[in-house]
Amino acid sequence: AQSVTQPDIHITVSEGASLELRCNYSYGATPYLFWYVQSPGQGLQLLLKYFSGDTLVQGIKGFEAEFKRSQSSFNLRKPSVHWSDAAEYFCAVGNQAGTALIFGKGTTLSVSS
Amino acid sequence: DGGITQSPKYLFRKEGQNVTLSCEQNLNHDAMYWYRQDPGQGLRLIYYSQIVNDFQKGDIAEGYSVSREKKESFPLTVTSAQKNPTAFYLCASSGGGLAGAQETQYFGPGTRLLVL
Taking the C-alpha atoms of residue B5 and residue B50, their distance in angstroms, rounded to an integer, is 19
Q: What would the pLDDT profile of B57-83 be if each residue is shown by its tens digit?
A: 999 999 999 999 999 999 999 998 888
Size of interface A-B (CB pairs under 8 A): 72
pLDDT of residue B115: 87
User: Which residue of A25, A88, A101 is the best one to mutate when testing the B interface, meaning the one whose CB has the most B CBs within 10 A?
Assistant: A101
Comparing alpha-carbon positions, the chain A residue that sits nearest to B43 is: A103
Report CA torsion sign: B14, B15, B18, B22: positive
Alpha-carbon gap: B45 to the closest alpha carbon of chain A (Å): 8
**Could you list the pLDDT tens digit for every one of the 113 residues in chain A?**
789 999 999 999 999 999 999 999 997 677 899 999 999 888 999 999 998 889 999 999 999 999 999 999 999 999 999 999 999 999 999 887 777 889 999 999 999 98
In chain A, which residues have their Cβ closer than 8 Å to the Cβ of B4? 43
Taking the C-alpha atoms of residue A78 and residue B60, their distance in angstroms, rounded to an integer, is 34
Cα B95 to chain centroid, rounded: 16
Confidence check: pLDDT of B100 > 70:
no
User: Which residue of A10, A44, A90 is the best one to mutate when testing the B interface, meaning the one whose CB has the most B CBs within 10 A?
Assistant: A44
Q: Provide mean pLDDT across the span B35-62.
A: 93
Picking from B50, B90, B104, the nearest residue to A49 by CB comes out as B104
pLDDT of residue B101: 57
In chain B, which residues have their Cβ closer than 8 Å to the Cβ of A49? 104
